[in-house]
Structure 1
Amino acid sequence: MTDLLDTLPYARFLGLQSRLTGDDLIVVMPFADHLVGNPMLPALHGGSTAALLEMTAVAQVALRYPRLQLPRPINVTVAYLRSGRPVDVQARARINKAGRRVAHVLAEAWQGDESQPIASLTAHFLLDEEDNL
């Protein structure tokens, strides 16, 4: 999955790193000053948090279905549950349901305590095979 994230320019900008723990893919966004959206708090920018969640979901689908092209988002909804502190963020996604053409994916991001997510994502992705291009 590191190879996949390395091919995405915005993932490189965010410094995303991935690791597999069993079947679970965890994506980490290390804290960097350019990720701060509100310097008064300071709090992470919502766009970087949303991008982390979406790329985690894409990576999870790509890991589960390696013969498919990169999954394309149909719709993405992000819920911001609390301010992201200026520390590393971790995210995990799970495929809730996948059919022949569409996958429904849920993802959560947290800092420190996984039971206290800072944001969650619900998305549908189009699943296309490589030779359907």
Structure 2
Amino acid sequence: MIERAPYAQMLGVREWIDEAGNAGLVMPASPGLEGREGFLYGGVIGSLLELACLAALSGEEGVVAGRPRPINMTIDFLRGGLMVESYAQARIVRLGKRVVNVDATCWQSDRESPIATGRMHILRSV
């Protein structure tokens, strides 16, 4: 569903299912996404994490009505993202009365060696 968003389409993001059946996102590398030579632009990595957080919400009925209203997002860049396919998965950590907390991880060839992580807080529909 998130891959229908215009920004996700521009990045080439599509849904991906892992071997355990968990949904995530995958983004192919392309020259337009390059920052410094040989590496993905950090904003693109942050965008992939944000889209993964929003995708995690889309599977939860009644959590957020209409368009999600993000409160904030924090991103930790752990290493440079190479110009290869990148993956991201997010999980809802807490469904509070007013705020939803979501964590996301982005990796490339090795899931155990993430290139970035993110935390997003989204205002819950009341």
**Same fold judged by TM-score > 0.5?**
yes
* 1:124 equivalenced with 2:118 (yes/no): no
Report the equivalent of 2:8: 11
Q: Residues 98 and 23 from structure 1, CA distance in 2 versus in 1: closer, same or farther, beyond 3 angstroms?
A: farther
Instruction: Decide which moves more: 88-97 or 17-26.
Output: 17-26
The amino acid of 2:51's aligned partner reads: M
Identify unmatched segments of 5+ residues in structure 2: none
User: What's the CA shift string for 1:68-97, capped at 9, x where partnerless?
Assistant: 323221010000000000100000001110
- Kept after mapping to 2: 8 A contact 1:69/1:127: no
Q: Residues 18 and 80 from structure 1, CA distance in 2 versus in 1: closer, same or farther, beyond 3 angstroms?
A: same
Cα distance in 1 for partners of 2:124, 2:68 equals 6
* 1:72 equivalenced with 2:69 (yes/no): yes
Instruction: Decide which moves more: 86-95 or 15-24.
Output: 15-24
Cα distance in 1 for partners of 2:62, 2:25 equals 18
The amino acid of 1:97's aligned partner reads: R
The amino acid of 1:73's aligned partner reads: P
Cα distance in 2 for partners of 1:127, 1:50 equals 22
Q: Normalising by structure 2, what TM-score?
A: 0.90
Report the equivalent of 1:45: 41
Q: Residues 110 and 87 from structure 1, CA distance in 2 versus in 1: closer, same or farther, beyond 3 angstroms?
A: same
The amino acid of 2:109's aligned partner reads: G
Instruction: Indicate the RMSD between aligned Cα atoms, in angstroms.
Output: 1.7
Q: Residues 5 and 72 from structure 1, CA distance in 2 versus in 1: closer, same or farther, beyond 3 angstroms?
A: farther
Q: CA deviation at 1:24?
A: 2.0
Residue-pair matches, total: 124
Identify unmatched segments of 5+ residues in structure 1: none
Q: Residues 13 and 20 from structure 1, CA distance in 2 versus in 1: closer, same or farther, beyond 3 angstroms?
A: same
Q: CA deviation at 1:10?
A: 1.1
The amino acid of 1:34's aligned partner reads: G
Cα distance in 1 for partners of 2:62, 2:84 equals 32
Q: CA deviation at 1:23?
A: 5.7
* 1:83 equivalenced with 2:76 (yes/no): no
Q: CA deviation at 1:48?
A: 0.4
Q: Normalising by structure 1, what TM-score?
A: 0.85
- What's the secondary structure of 2:59's corresponding residue? helix
